[in-house]
């Protein structure tokens, strides 16, 4: 092996080590992104493989050969698991077990038996397959952020092609026994490709993760932590600056006697009541509807492309479903009711604040009328 090859190999090792430390450091600050830890481990395994392979180059032997095969294929299998974890949020272990199990069971026996040439052909082939599979995992998740994810998939594919070339050169040479590490133009090209692609993959993946974290923080800022519904800020972000048309309705709900529930049964029971009502809201939504917790015991629905009878039916269904609930507490079963008021926009378009205010007035009318009922804002009711 030439000094240039050894230098490239060490460059791969040190670059991968830096990437692994960076990934681990980012994971420590964002532990919800578990794929970062899996990915950091996969890169660390590749680092260990680089330095083990360097030792094998200097003193070829079966034990070092087995170690370098095992570390590389286990590292790439773990990389595949990390990609699956990133795109699906599921455990990486099945992918790791499948990739490592098949590749190691196929590649280790030849080198253990002394057929290192055959072993290197198989190792490069399976390394390419694992990298292509990793690229495909990212490709499947490209809808999340097409440009960077397609870029990552392309770089993994390019790295896989470099391993294919290494396998092809060895196969064309036809030597089942080498007695030393492979030395050819494909090996040199592969190292250069790995250095370039690893840099690109690291940069794109870290940028992609930062984008995902930013979206996660924004989603948290727009979500009510107790019920999982959107919050008041999200409602006004979605509709505050848009005129409300004649076929869009806003329904405001308020739980009846909620302060008494908190005082008599405690805030934990009150929270449970709020979550159960949120479930009833969510269960009666169409894909175009938006459900929001406005604050306290007040909720709202925005229904688009709808008619007064549909709004009335939806609000009544939610009201009756909630009234039929029996909530077990430490003292006695509890039943609750809810009042609702709704209003429509206009043909000319009406400000969202004005429609919401009209729905609030209808809600107050429902409260004054005896509670546990749905009331329309008469000034905004359209003829059926």
pLDDT tier at 379, thresholds 50, 70, 90: low
- pLDDT at position 332 is 82
The per-residue pLDDT for range 13-27, each reduced to its tens digit, is: 888 888 888 888 878
Catalytic one of 33, 137, 187, 297: 297
Please state, in angstroms and rounded to a whole number, the distance separating the CA atoms of residues 354 and 172. 77
* Residue 210 pLDDT: 73
Q: Look at residue 343 in the predicted model and tell me its pLDDT.
A: 93
211 close to 145: Cβ distance less than 8 angstroms: yes
189, two tokens = 């090209």
Nearest to 106 by CA among 129, 80, 90: 129
Lowest mean pLDDT segment, chosen from 19-23, 104-108, 266-270, 338-342: 19-23
**All structural domains of the chain with their residue ranges:** 3-218, 230-380
> CATH topology of 3-218 equal to that of 230-380?
no
CATH T-level topology, domain 230-380: Alpha-Beta Plaits (3.30.70)
Q: Is the pTM of this model over 0.95?
A: no
pLDDT tens digits for 35-61?
A: 888 988 999 999 999 999 999 999 999
Q: Is the pLDDT of residue 384 over 50?
A: no
Q: How confident is the model at residue 382 (pLDDT cuts 50, 70, 90)?
A: very low
The answer to whether residue 279 is catalytic is no
Please state whether beta strands 230-231 and 290-295 pair in parallel, antiparallel, or not at all (unpaired).
parallel
Statement: residue 295 has pLDDT above 60: yes
Look up the CATH number of domain 3-218: 1.20.1070
Residues 131 and 160 sit within 8 Å (Cβ to Cβ): yes
Beta strand residue intervals within the chain, DSSP E:
230-231, 249-255, 290-295, 298-303, 338-344, 374-376
């Amino acid at each position: 092996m030439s000094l240039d090859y050894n230098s490239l190999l060490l460059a791969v090792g040190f670059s991968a080590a830096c990437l692994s430390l960076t990934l681990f450091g980012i994971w420590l600050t964002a532990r919800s992104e578990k794929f970062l830890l899996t990915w950091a481990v996969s890169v660390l395994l590749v680092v260990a493989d680089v330095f083990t392979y360097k030792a094998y180059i200097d003193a070829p032997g079966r034990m070092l050969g087995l170690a370098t095969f095992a570390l590389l294929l286990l590292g790439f299998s773990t990389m595949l698991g990390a990609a699956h974890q990133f795109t699906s949020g599921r455990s990486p272990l099945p992918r790791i077990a499948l990739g490592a199990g098949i590749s190691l069971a196929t590649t280790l026996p030849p080198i253990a038996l002394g057929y290192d040439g055959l072993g290197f052909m198989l190792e490069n082939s399976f390394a390419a397959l694992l990298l292509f599979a990793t690229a495909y995992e990212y490709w499947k998740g490209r809808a999340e952020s097409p440009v960077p994810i397609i870029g990552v998939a392309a770089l993994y594919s390019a790295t896989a092609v470099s391993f294919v070339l290494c396998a092809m050169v060895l196969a064309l040479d036809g030597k089942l026994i080498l007695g030393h590490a492979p030395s050819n133009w494909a090996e040199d090209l592969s190292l250069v490709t790995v250095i370039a692609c690893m840099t690109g993959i690291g940069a794109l993946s870290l940028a992609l993760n930062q984008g995902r974290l930013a979206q996660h923080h924004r989603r948290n800022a727009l979500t009510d932590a107790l019920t999982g519904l959107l919050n008041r800020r999200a409602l006004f972000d979605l509709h505050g600056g848009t005129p409300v048309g004649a076929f869009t309705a806003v329904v405001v709900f308020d739980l009846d006697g909620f302060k008494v529930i908190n005082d008599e049964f405690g805030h934990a029971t009150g929270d449970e009541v709020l979550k159960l009502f949120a479930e009833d809201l969510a269960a009666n939504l169409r894909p175009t509807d938006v459900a929001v917790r406005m604050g306290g015991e007040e909720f709202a629905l925005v229904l688009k492309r709808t008619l007064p009878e549909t709004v009335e039916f939806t609000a009544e269904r939610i009201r009756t479903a909630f009234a039929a609930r029996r909530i077990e507490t430490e003292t006695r079963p509890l039943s609750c009711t809810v009042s609702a008021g709704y209003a429509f926009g206009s043909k000319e378009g009406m400000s969202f604040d004005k429609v919401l205010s009209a729905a609030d007035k209808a809600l107050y009318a429902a409260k004054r009328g005896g509670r546990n009922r749905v009331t329309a804002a008469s000034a905004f009711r359209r003829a059926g």
